[in-house]
Structure 1
């Protein structure tokens, strides 16, 4: 690293310090007002910013610019235009206008729209989001933008997120004003995204069609050693991975992404990166860049980065923990309980709002993480169950219980930890433990939503959280509006008691992995939406349509479009997986199996010719076993082909998705188990793909 980290950090970002240094004072103030308060951006300001942005980009070697946006594919999109502008005399100049900065026109019919746009309705618009800084990637200036149709419908993941941020800020600020905090002008959602991922050898990756087409293995016998020794988690990082992490950090720091923590995760070949908290819009943008850079940097190190939720059967999959909090523009964390949470009225109100929101919209939180990949992960002993519950910890649950029962809360105060040897320092015990089985856990001054899958855009979960909490806060404001003094105190006391009593069912501090909890959750009336096709219809339930439309986050049409897109994505994902399995078994695995059986038969025949009367029991036993498995695989493959044909004839994506989940995935599991049984009997030289041994233990 030629530069120090402070010099490197943000060096490829047109950030606040660059704008302040390069823009006229009046232009900078006008832009800052737009960013901080959401006021309208005037064209003269945009023109001035565009000139400064272009000059800065050219100084850093950029030749092109792009409106960088996040369509409903879940990944980012970009169309590059050069700064080049011919003068008509055989020369050219480099130009970039305010109009080009604030608006682009990509094809809106070529991205998922869920019926909002027909094929012939091609025009769409990208609009500059000044709250997320422009940056340079390669030789291109990337300008974060929102994406909408010609008629104004949101076709991306950024627009609803920005709307939800405004909704929760409006209601949280209103409540704080009722409480006397009139100096607060805005409340921001902040997020820290912990990103889990796998690294495998690139050459091994290239030999597996399932990894290439499906991003996870469709079959593979377990390696002799998995994660049972618990020796990979936080273990010493191997040199090859350490070199990858070092370069990744540098690339992220250049882009102003505050990569902070890195370590080995539980499964072999699994790792994690975590950043410092940022405003949610920026955090989501940065997480998209993190995933992109992970893949690019891995490739340069002869590795492939796997972001699928369950790349390998039998070991932990990967999640993306969404650490969510609310902070005022005056620097106050609204979810900080302080030293005496039982007496912290402001904290308790915001805590109650979150409890109510999670209970009322648990179905939406489950939907926000519903993908074909994450269905493999949720409910296993590595991730939260599909039942949404909320963990508060021992102290806060006791506070809530005292409010519900109107009894005095006797806090234990700070507890000093002493673990024996005098040489070790004493330290204060946290007021909550960590519960890795909880989908939604309070972790000191924030909530950790542990359900999102590793490949997911965090826009969806945060749109839900922001909007649901905005709804609860709006209800609180309605109850408390106009009250002062003792009347306000009494109303708050009743509001807290009623809210915690009415929504107590969502609070659960125990082990979310047990069957007993699932039975208890059912008694409590908590939804258990185990699969994506089962969960998605709840998205368009009347109460959820009302939520989004009331807070102007999504129109009814935009909500239905997302329902269609998610259903279609699920069905197409499983279809690709089924077709890939069909091809791998038919063209690769069965021929390899037959080749080995043939060689075994030749070996047996040769032995008998050389030594009359010698036994060939071992060969016969193995041939019989493999031949039986080959028959099973062949028969089940024929069944799978018929099922794929049936699914392809379905026009209704909900019907097709349900059929893929209930029928085709079950058939694929039957084939997977048979292939795995055969794989362990076949020498690796015969197998057409690398085994789990090679994929997981490549160092």
Structure 2
């Protein structure tokens, strides 16, 4: 077995590989493109393409593909062979700079929200040199942006790159006021990925799991997570083998998989990587999810990434740990010297302002059919967005707002009357599991992101909103005399903190009191995806997208329409599956068991033992009443489902699914699940939670 460090990145066209395969001048030019956004001419592109092809062929690749992330949220790829006929019965391998830089998939076949008509099929993929190419299944995958013929962004990556650029620009303006001139300011992310692993055989026998990714029916197991024995517990051997194979796959792709452990719920696990630059980190996470599913099939397992595959136990999230860095300096690290304090407070204030001002956008960014079932229960944060700072940092912010902080040096030494901030240590904050947006030492952890989500959306919002807040600071403070800067900066932060203090909350996000308090503060409580999605195109949010150059109005509306369409389609699939399964799988099984009980009663009574059969009679009555309730629930769900399907307005349809269809689905589920407690095990038609969640 290769040395651990030797295995890492073996399938990645990394900077070190580039250095080995490219001429020095070409490597230097490419590095300038990656680090500083310098344009790449065709001669350099041809040299890079040749080096990529040579390296890829040496590592067993036969095809290349532009690997991109359409608005569906998943990844897409079209494979082209390196082989080209030579005209004499032979072939050569060919890969040009033009093929590297640009591809042309059919744009009309992907979700576009009205950006492209079917007859406007042309779309382009454009190489993203900031995320390295890699080999996957003998294919050289080249991360790319995806746009329409007229340059409209048809993907998740393009707006994200724009948001990173505007954050870089505005953060540099702020840092210049502190006498710093970094080459780049880059958001970083660490994406903790939660998932479930179940036996493939059980998965195949649950049509609801296969079609929708979650169990639409299922009574609670005899034992759930109440004993708190699974979290960080010993990993079962079959899962350990899977995790080892997954690590090897990810390490070869240069993905720094670091931590793995059992999560709270039975069969639930987590993988966490080392922090990376945002764009590459999101690409990595998309690969992580793909590999999780593929590797599981080699071990007779199925990986479930749905946010709530099992009712009543923990759902799965993707904790989005976000920070900003300038070179080696984390701008959200309070530091261990007072000289760094004011700069930290400025960036902290910008995040607080951004989250409060665009709380609806952040909620929208994590809205999905699956996440609606997760938010607000079993350690998942509520739908109300708030910020948790921890006791020490809350004290610092409070002193600034109260006017008890002062500055007495040009570079921003803060005097708080106590050495609180200089002594802040990483991870000094309590891990408030009910907070959706928590400061954890030197980063913010956005915990509302769903496990199945493409994390581009929440990071797009964070980058853009924080960039706008930093722009406000730079606009206000640029030109301030150096001797006055520190005092003026602190005063600016004080006013912004007072203005946005309502978003700060350190208590129990699950409590009824918080619901009432949040409403009093004027915080949004967007409980469902249908309620949240329109925030994408609210006037103030459209102004943000456009003013920061991240999305045009047309691009913003297209994403709103794509999200609505996806939500409606998924809800339609779930309702259809539920009705069909209730009619064709569960009701016949329950009826068959009721018939057996009735025949047994009849037989025993005929033998003259009527007095001893009251228990069986009660069971039969429950079964018959349950069948009646199921029939009525199917009829009610069918009616509201047909109502939703008939609606032509997408938002109206989403509202109907969220507020009428979903409650009807819950009623039908309750009726069927009640029968699971009564029907004999050999009559129940599918594996139960006890069967699925507890295996050797």
Q: Report Cα offsets for 1:223-264 as digits up to 9, x if no partner.
A: 110011111111111111111111100100000000000111
Establish whether residue 462 from structure 1 lines up as the match of residue 447 from structure 2: no
Q: Report Cα offsets for 1:168-222 as digits up to 9, x if no partner.
A: 000001111121102x121000000000111111000001111011100001001
Distance in structure 2 (CA, Å) of the matches to 1:429 and 1:485: 31
The aligned residue for residue 225 of structure 2 is: 227
Establish whether residue 541 from structure 1 lines up as the match of residue 538 from structure 2: yes
Establish whether residue 318 from structure 1 lines up as the match of residue 347 from structure 2: no
Deviation at 1:448, TM superposition (A): 0.5
DSSP 3-state at the match of 2:329: coil
Distance in structure 1 (CA, Å) of the matches to 2:444 and 2:338: 16
Establish whether residue 489 from structure 1 lines up as the match of residue 486 from structure 2: yes
The aligned residue for residue 31 of structure 2 is: 32
Contact 2:206–2:686 under 8 Å retained in 1: yes
Distance in structure 2 (CA, Å) of the matches to 1:599 and 1:347: 72
Change in CA separation of 1:522 and 1:614 when aligned onto 2, cut-off 3 Å: closer
TM-score, normalized by length of structure 2?
0.96
The aligned residue for residue 80 of structure 1 is: 79
The aligned residue for residue 424 of structure 1 is: none
Distance in structure 2 (CA, Å) of the matches to 1:341 and 1:600: 78
Deviation at 1:429, TM superposition (A): 8.6
Moved more, 636-645 or 61-70: 636-645
Change in CA separation of 1:22 and 1:428 when aligned onto 2, cut-off 3 Å: closer
Distance in structure 2 (CA, Å) of the matches to 1:661 and 1:189: 34
Deviation at 1:312, TM superposition (A): 0.6
Contact 1:381–1:513 under 8 Å retained in 2: no
Distance in structure 2 (CA, Å) of the matches to 1:67 and 1:429: 40
Establish whether residue 105 from structure 1 lines up as the match of residue 85 from structure 2: no
Distance in structure 1 (CA, Å) of the matches to 2:653 and 2:243: 41
Distance in structure 1 (CA, Å) of the matches to 2:476 and 2:116: 42
1:255 maps to which of 250, 253, 256: 253
The aligned residue for residue 633 of structure 2 is: 636
Deviation at 1:485, TM superposition (A): 2.0
Deviation at 1:571, TM superposition (A): 1.0
Contact 2:366–2:450 under 8 Å retained in 1: yes
Q: Report Cα offsets for 1:603-636 as digits up to 9, x if no partner.
A: 2233344556564333322111101101110121
Establish whether residue 447 from structure 1 lines up as the match of residue 449 from structure 2: no
Deviation at 1:343, TM superposition (A): 6.4
Deviation at 1:135, TM superposition (A): 0.6
Establish whether residue 437 from structure 1 lines up as the match of residue 434 from structure 2: yes
Contact 1:84–1:95 under 8 Å retained in 2: yes
Distance in structure 2 (CA, Å) of the matches to 1:637 and 1:372: 21
Distance in structure 2 (CA, Å) of the matches to 1:681 and 1:163: 57
Distance in structure 2 (CA, Å) of the matches to 1:653 and 1:520: 32
The aligned residue for residue 121 of structure 2 is: 122
Contact 1:202–1:302 under 8 Å retained in 2: yes
Distance in structure 2 (CA, Å) of the matches to 1:96 and 1:343: 49
Change in CA separation of 1:428 and 1:164 when aligned onto 2, cut-off 3 Å: closer
Change in CA separation of 1:612 and 1:353 when aligned onto 2, cut-off 3 Å: closer
Deviation at 1:695, TM superposition (A): 1.0
The aligned residue for residue 187 of structure 2 is: 189
Change in CA separation of 1:271 and 1:654 when aligned onto 2, cut-off 3 Å: same
Where does 1:270-349 land on structure 2 (aligned, <5 Å)?
Answer: 270-329=268-327, 331-339=328-336, 344-349=341-346
TM-score, normalized by length of structure 1?
0.96
Distance in structure 1 (CA, Å) of the matches to 2:466 and 2:430: 24
How many residues align? The count is 686
Deviation at 1:678, TM superposition (A): 0.4
Distance in structure 1 (CA, Å) of the matches to 2:573 and 2:136: 31
Contact 1:414–1:429 under 8 Å retained in 2: no
Contact 2:100–2:127 under 8 Å retained in 1: yes
Change in CA separation of 1:429 and 1:577 when aligned onto 2, cut-off 3 Å: closer
Unmatched runs of 5 consecutive residues or more in structure 2: 406-415
Contact 1:342–1:399 under 8 Å retained in 2: no
The aligned residue for residue 236 of structure 1 is: 234
DSSP 3-state at the match of 1:271: strand
DSSP 3-state at the match of 1:148: strand
DSSP 3-state at the match of 1:286: helix
Where does 1:554-593 land on structure 2 (aligned, <5 Å)?
Answer: 554-593=551-590
Where does 1:574-653 land on structure 2 (aligned, <5 Å)?
Answer: 574-610=571-607, 615-653=612-650
Change in CA separation of 1:415 and 1:116 when aligned onto 2, cut-off 3 Å: closer
Contact 1:415–1:429 under 8 Å retained in 2: no
